Amino acid sequence: MGRFDHYIAGLMRAVVFEGGQATIGEVDHPEPGHRQLLVAVRAAGLNGADIAQARGGYPPPPGAPTTGGLEMAGEVVAAGPGCQRFSTGDRVMAVVQGGGQAEFCVVDELLAMPVPEPMDWESAGGFPEVFATAHDALFTQAGLAMGERVCIHGAAGGVGVAAVQLAAAAGAQVTATVRNPDSRGAVAELVAHAIDPADFIDAGPFDVILELVGAPNWPANLKALATEGRIVVIGVGAGSEVTLNLALLMVKRLRLFASTLRPRPLEQRAAVARQVEHHVLPLVDSGRVRVPLARTFPLSEAPAAYEYFTVPGKLGKVVLVA
């Protein structure tokens, strides 16, 4: 049996969602259309959105694949008409709107990024979504600058470890809240002051707060923010309902950002990919940022990987490998 036998037969294995669970199913392999690359997936990360989708809570945008996987890395095996940036044999990685956790995935080449030479497949598969999200939130939205004080909540998770490294590399002073005491040392090594979430007000004030946890950090976030500070809400897994003191918003002249990446128009997602290529891939090349891996699983064990993702206490990314 060769590596592409499923492709030749017209079927491939992919993560599908049934009855609130992730499982492995056989689905039609995708065909590359205009400006699309067909990628033989070598690794694909898990994200909170996959878990939410498996549970029926985060449907894919219209037209997106309904199978799992918002990021993947692999080898281009065919390029559709109009492709100019990549060709057969290239190593690419991308944020996709679904379908990354499969043997093959099609991606518009505007969303694809080259995999830097020093990066292995496991790291590449867990890189695109979290580094794109972290870079977009910290720099494009909140405008984090050299020397500023930033607090990253939920810093041991996939987005958190990306955000800590990017903020530190940009010359910010990084405080990271980490619930699991056993993970604080490893997060500190990414160049952060890693603390218990209960202690973050005293560690402030902060120019920027990156919220990856949600409601439990409110209203303390408003207290810990410096005058003219910025808060970016990216994750609300621990709750989304809070009471906001609007007077405090005014008095501090603060700015509040909130965002999701997946439903944005293709042009905006492509712009995010160009930012990551320009500002982050050189840091991968030079070894200044990396993808901490909590654990890898073979694609065939995707259900176990989905279960593992939800267990508290992990550090970094969970990645499926071909």
Residues in contact with ligand NAP by the rule CB under 6 A: 47-49, 129-130, 133, 154, 156-160, 179-180, 197, 212-213, 216, 234-235, 237-238, 259-261, 312-314
Q: Which is nearer to ligand NAP, 62 or 89 (CB)?
A: 62
CA dihedral 15, 17, 21, 25 (to 10 degrees): -50
Token pair in block for residue 15? 């993560």
Whether the bond into 205 is cis, omega within 30 of 0: yes
Q: Are 299 and 321 in contact (CB under 8 A)?
A: yes
CB of residue 4 to ligand NAP, shortest distance in Å: 31
Q: Which is nearer to ligand NAP, 88 or 259 (CB)?
A: 259
CB of residue 227 to ligand NAP, shortest distance in Å: 26
Q: Are 68 and 17 in contact (CB under 8 A)?
A: yes
N-to-C CA span, the chain: 15
CA distance 98 to 44: 11
CB of residue 182 to ligand NAP, shortest distance in Å: 10
Name the H helices within the chain: 5-8, 48-54, 121-125, 128-135, 158-169, 184-189, 200-203, 220-224, 246-251, 266-279, 281-285, 302-309
Q: Which is nearer to ligand NAP, 116 or 154 (CB)?
A: 154
Q: Which is nearer to ligand NAP, 159 or 209 (CB)?
A: 159
CB of residue 25 to ligand NAP, shortest distance in Å: 23
Largest Cα span, the chain: 67
Q: Shortest Cβ contact with ligand NAP: which residue?
A: 157
CB of residue 28 to ligand NAP, shortest distance in Å: 28
CB of residue 302 to ligand NAP, shortest distance in Å: 16
Q: Which is nearer to ligand NAP, 105 or 176 (CB)?
A: 176
Q: Which is nearer to ligand NAP, 94 or 213 (CB)?
A: 213
* Count of residues in the chain: 322
